[in-house]
Amino acid sequence: MKIYLTFITITLMAFFSGCKTTQPTTSNAALQETYWKLFEIMGKPVSTPADAKQVHIKFQKG
């Protein structure tokens, strides 16, 4: 029983010490007319062939 309570206590301490609250961030940057280049997908870098255009997205006003 003592081992069980020790295990539960250590598990709860690890769980609550891993929880971290953060303040929400805000930005005044406009999304319109901003050029967004793709650098990576799922942690893997994106390489663009020399004869191809960069993969990007741009939001236009309208």
3-state secondary structure of 5: helix
Alpha carbon 43 to chain centroid distance? Answer: 10
Strand partners, 58: 35
Closest CA to 37 of 27, 28, 47: 47
Q: Which long-range contacts (CB under 8 A, 24 or more apart) does 36-43 make?
A: none
pLDDT at 46: 86
Q: What percent of the chain has pLDDT over 90?
A: 0
Tell whether pTM > 0.75: no
pLDDT at 19: 62
pLDDT at 18: 65
Residue 37: pLDDT band with limits 50, 70, 90: confident
